[in-house]
Amino acid sequence: MPELPEVEVLRCNLEPLLVGKRISDFQVLKPRVVRPESPQQLEDGVTGCSIKGVGRKGKFLWLDLAKARSRATFPLTIHLGMTGRLFVQDSGDPLPVHTAVVLGLGRKRLVFRDPRSFGRVTLETDSLNQLGLDALSVDFTVDQLGAAFARTIQAVKVRLMDQRHIAGLGNIYACEVLHRARVSPFVAASELRLAKLKLLHQAIHATLGRQIELGLKLKLDFAGEGKSDGLFYFGSASGQAPQSRERFRVYGREGEACPTCGSKIVRAEQSKRGTFFCPQCQQSE
Ligand SMILES: [Zn+2]
């Protein structure tokens, strides 16, 4: 599942391709990804609108739309879910299999492809409003991290992934930032002292920032499956592609040597997710 860095790289790539375009038509091929509105309501709401910007918070992406002769913008939110992908293609190209939604943009079109239909396209803003601070926003300070961790018995890794508290970290980057900060994934979030909170806050910035930097260096065009669409960057439906594995310190590296101390990396089940960590570097205090 794409996490904050992947969605930010996607946003940076899409923005120059989409800003200034007008939505000439809107088609829903998989009604399940449109909710709570009906496909017709969504079509009526966006057709004829211009795209003024592409925004992101946490793992959510949105298009800032404006109606003709209006300056007021409103978001069309797109959540990629597990397997959702966005492509900008020529309108004459054949549609990819599993296309869920198509926004016609004159000679181009924006295609939302979603094999498993866990993604979502909506004009409703509740999901955005329920998100905690974006993990890379300037408002997300060490104090805010402390506030997100206060008064809970939840393990730090589980809390880090709760989008209502901090938006953007999923299973992969939660493992990565905890290793970088040398924090055990199993320790209760509220037990972390200030020194550890500072290290973790730094690790979040450093890890996500570095991943975005790496992603922006790749020549991605998001034109479709099998081209330079970032499949090797996003990984496939079954997980991260082999080429992207080298980006990670611990995630997906069970049994390999920890890059810090050389001990074997361990995989454990935690809240039904695979947690990768170094038992030597990441001890509970
Ligand atoms: Zn280690």
238 pLDDT tier (thresholds 50, 70, 90): very low
Residues labelled catalytic: 2-3, 59, 273
Residue spans in the chain of domains classed CATH 1.10.8.50: 133-217+249-277
Q: What is the pLDDT of residue 284?
A: 83
Q: How far, in Å, is the centroid of ligand 1 from the Cα of 135?
A: 25
Residue spans in the chain of domains classed CATH 3.20.190.10: 4-129
Q: How far, in Å, is the centroid of ligand 1 from the Cα of 104?
A: 50
Please state, for a pLDDT cut of 70, what percent of the chain lies above it.
Answer: 92
Q: How far, in Å, is the centroid of ligand 1 from the Cα of 259?
A: 7
**CATH code for residues 133-217+249-277:** 1.10.8.50
Distance CA 133, CA 118 (A): 23
Q: How far, in Å, is the centroid of ligand 1 from the Cα of 129?
A: 38
Packing angle, helices 194-217 and 142-149, rounded to 10: 110
Q: What is the pTM of this model?
A: 0.93
Q: What is the pLDDT of residue 170?
A: 95
Name the strand (E) or helix (H) holding 100.
strand 99-105
Residues written for the chain: 285
- Give me the residues paired with residue 130 across strands: none
Q: How far, in Å, is the centroid of ligand 1 from the Cα of 254?
A: 12
Condensed to tens digits (0 to 9), the pLDDT of residues 243-270 reads: 456 678 999 999 999 999 999 999 999 9
Q: Give the domain 4-129 fold.
A: N-terminal domain of MutM-like DNA repair proteins (3.20.190)
